[in-house]
Amino acid sequence: MDNRTSVLLAVSLIKGIFTMNESIRAASDLSVAPMTFKTLWQRLMRQKLLIVLVLLTSLLLAGSLTWMMAPSYRAVSTLQIEKQGAQIVNFGELNKPTPDLGELDPFFRTQYEQLKSRALIAKVIDDLSLERRLFNKDFRTPLRKAFDQWASDTLGPAVRWVKSLLPQDVSPATKPDRVVDFLEALYVEPVEKAHLVNVFFESPDEKLSAEVVNALVNTFILNSMKEGSRGETYARTFLGRELEKARERLTDSEEALVNYARENNILEVNNSQVTQEQKLTELNKALVGAELRRVEAQSQLNQARDHGDVTDILNNPTLAGLKQQLATLEANYRKLSETFKPAYPDMQQLAGEIASLRNRVNAETTRLTRSIESTYTATTNLENRLRSDLANFQNELVDLRDRGVEYKALQREVETSSKLYDSLLQRVSEVGVAAGARSSNVRIVDKATPPETSFRPNKPLNLLLGGVLGLMLGAALALLRESWRKSPESASELQAFSGLPVLGTIPHVNKRNRRALPMAAVREVGSPVAEAYRVAATNLKFAGSEGMPGSLLLTSLNPGEGKSTSSVNLALSLAQIGYKVLLVDADLRRPTLHEKMALNNHVGLTEYLYGDMELSKVTQRIDSVKNAFVITAGMLNLDPVEALSNEKMIKLVEMSAQYFDITLLDAPPLTGFADALLLAEMADATLLVSSENIHADKDRLIVALDQLQRVKQNVIGWLVVKAHQGVVSEQYYVRYSQNATRRKNLDTTLVTPMMLQKKGLNLTK
């Protein structure tokens, strides 16, 4: 059994179990309460026999398969793979190694896959004759041979008969692909965070396993070196051809450069071009200056023509002096005009001087304006001349550049061809030297040696896995079987399904203690059973809305559930805690109370119902327990339904309520009989007795509960007997064993603080 396959199978089975468990919880009507570990464990324990059987079968099967398998041995060799071998010289490499990208580097992935290439494996198979030594050799164990022989003798005729019925394949048989068989036994495992790889091979022969691994590794290294040699040979041939092409190209480019220079009278392009570019720069600067001066002169001219307030005019000293004199005369004229009229001689003389001075100012202004016009004309002419010179220089420079571009292109062609030729020549020399110093990039770190122990089968692991799988499969089958179960099997399931409370849980009793069980409340006072019945008796006080019922019917779904035994012990427990109790054996079909309590049954219920016996005559006192009285079934053979339908039975229940605190009616089972339904109508409350495994499906249980509810809504709960779950451990009572022994020696009638409301037995009326 393959260990990896076993682990995967175990994981899948675990997932299946959890999925099945969820399905069971969703589909089962009994799982009303939430599934817990405790309830899951209880369900598994109910099916422990099935789980043990599946476990043993799984262990037997795992052991048989393990001992039938031939031992297999795995040999391993460790390789170190680098991107390049040891560098004796640091030049001449054909492939420059790329940066290491870690475990996902395509280079290393390629190397690992090449170890599993078909060509490499086919060569190893042929060199080692593996067809004869491995694939066609019988490595079966004696146990496996015996099993195969048995299967052939037993199933062979049936298999041959089935094959004869199938259409025959007439196509020629194909030869098995041994490369595929080899790959199934080969495993390549890279070592994490290292350039190491482990190569494994597994076969039934330990020496052959090591031999195959070593042959595979050595062949892989030789092939990688041959591939490198073939690459170097190809590189030298290729470089030789390219070197010859580069030499021819260099010669042609040099001839083209010389011819072009001769045809265009080019001696040196660079110096002439630099001179022209300097001249062009100077002309551009002069042109820019002329443009600035022309713009300035034009601006002054426009201002002079429009406003006459050009800076040169305003700042002229002659004009400024004249304007000052004019302003003085005009001021004197305005002052005299305040005293004299314009016809006054002094006023006329001053007006003539002002007019003369104004003419001089206008003449000076005109002269300055003409000077500005001449400056504008000169700057415009200079600008035009510089623009023309610049255009001429630009044409010359363009022509020079046109001729220089082609010349420089030819020069670059010569330089490029020369560099390529020199580089190829150097590369040819380096490759020749590096080829002689080449080493492999694969190195054997550890050679494979024959393993001392077998790799598989791992017997302890297989048995452990078989046990684990058996437990899981057994648990799955147990849960599946539990999901098919139709009846409750615990007190909690019964309560959850029916909706009725469990008033008491009576523990299961061993065979050696069953004799005392009918009177356990008296004979085994300190036992878990007696205490459980006392708990149930106490719970009856709080079961109904009105406290302790006056009459209580005890019945069960099936015969043999422990109904009569529970009736006796419950009656005794009620009497022990101070109640006056009357127990009536109303099971006329199979009366057993007189046997369980060792009482006389010569007169009883039947004699009261159809005889002349008074009720007090058929009522017996229990000597060992105070306040406990019993009416047995009697000796008359009557129709139970007719007898229980008698008016005297109704009168009995009514009269007992006057003299007793509680009357217990032990009725026949519900299934198949109407007795319990008749008595349920008479009683104040009905208590259902059921063993932990009720042995009844939910449909029957629903029908029985519906019948009781239709008769009278008085079902107060369940009394679960023979319980393994939900009971107090018997060790709990060990500490109180001394007290229990002391109580046995006392009068079994307990003194309680409760004052009895009934006066005693008085049924003579």
Angle (nearest 5°) at CA 703 between 700 and 707: 140
- 269-436 — its CATH code? 1.10.287
The model's confidence at residue 755, banded by pLDDT at 50, 70 and 90, is very low
Lowest mean pLDDT among 27-31, 71-75, 203-207: 27-31
CA–CA separation, 363 and 371 (whole Å): 13
Q: What's the pLDDT tens digit per position in 32-63?
A: 445 677 777 877 787 788 889 998 998 888 88
Domains 269-436 and 496-738 share a fold: no
Phi and psi, residue 254, nearest 5°: -65, -40
Phi and psi, residue 516, nearest 5°: -85, -5
- Residue 35: count other Cβ atoms within 10 Å of its Cβ: 14
Q: What's the confidence (pLDDT) of residue 488?
A: 63
pLDDT tops 90 at residue 582: yes
Q: What's the confidence (pLDDT) of residue 23?
A: 47
**Which region, left, alpha or beta, applies to residue 465 given φ > 0 means left and ψ of -120 to 50 means alpha?**
alpha
CA–CA separation, 140 and 134 (whole Å): 12
Q: What's the confidence (pLDDT) of residue 109?
A: 84
pLDDT tops 90 at residue 760: no
SS3 503: strand
Q: What's the confidence (pLDDT) of residue 502?
A: 85
Concatenate the DSSP letters of all residues of 239-289 into one string: HHHHHHHHHHHHHHHHHHHHHHHHHTT-S-HHHHHHHHHHHHHHHHHHHHH
Lowest mean pLDDT among 226-235, 601-610, 635-644, 698-707: 226-235
Find the mean pLDDT for residues 238-266: 74
Q: What's the confidence (pLDDT) of residue 234?
A: 60
CA–CA separation, 536 and 554 (whole Å): 13
The model's confidence at residue 293, banded by pLDDT at 50, 70 and 90, is confident
pLDDT tops 90 at residue 235: no
Is residue 554 within 8 Å of residue 541, measured between CB atoms? no
Q: What's the confidence (pLDDT) of residue 467?
A: 87
Find the mean pLDDT for residues 478-488: 71
Lowest mean pLDDT among 17-21, 420-424, 506-510, 694-698: 17-21
CA–CA separation, 40 and 35 (whole Å): 7
CA–CA separation, 748 and 751 (whole Å): 9
What secondary structure letter does DSSP report for 736? G
Q: Which amino acid is at 89?
A: V
Choose among 111, 122, 51: nearest CA to 82: 111
Q: Which amino acid is at 410?
A: L
Q: Which amino acid is at 643?
A: A
Pull the structure tokens for residue 604: 């009883």
Q: What's the confidence (pLDDT) of residue 172?
A: 56
Residue pointed to by tokens 């079902």: 715
HEC assignment per residue over 462-492: HHHHHHHHHHHHHHHHHHHHHHHCCCCCCHH
What is the percentage of the chain residues whose pLDDT exceeds 90? 7
pLDDT tops 90 at residue 270: no
SS3 158: helix
Q: What's the pLDDT tens digit per position in 160-170?
A: 787 777 776 55
pTM of the model: 0.47
Q: What's the pLDDT tens digit per position in 165-190?
A: 777 655 555 667 888 888 888 989 88
Find the mean pLDDT for residues 681-697: 80
Pull the structure tokens for residue 3: 């260990």
Q: What's the confidence (pLDDT) of residue 477?
A: 86
Q: What's the confidence (pLDDT) of residue 29?
A: 43
pLDDT tops 60 at residue 5: no
The model's confidence at residue 379, banded by pLDDT at 50, 70 and 90, is confident
The chain-wide mean pLDDT, for the chain, equals 76
Choose among 696, 504, 483: nearest CA to 40: 483
Pull the structure tokens for residue 643: 């007898």
Pull the structure tokens for residue 585: 């054996």
Q: Which residue has the higher pLDDT, 746 or 717?
A: 717
Which CATH architecture does the domain made up of 496-738 adopt?
3-Layer(aba) Sandwich (3.40)
The model's confidence at residue 72, banded by pLDDT at 50, 70 and 90, is confident
Q: Which residue has the higher pLDDT, 755 or 336?
A: 336
pLDDT tops 60 at residue 765: no
Sorted by where each begins, the domain ranges of the chain are 1-69+456-485, 269-436, 496-738
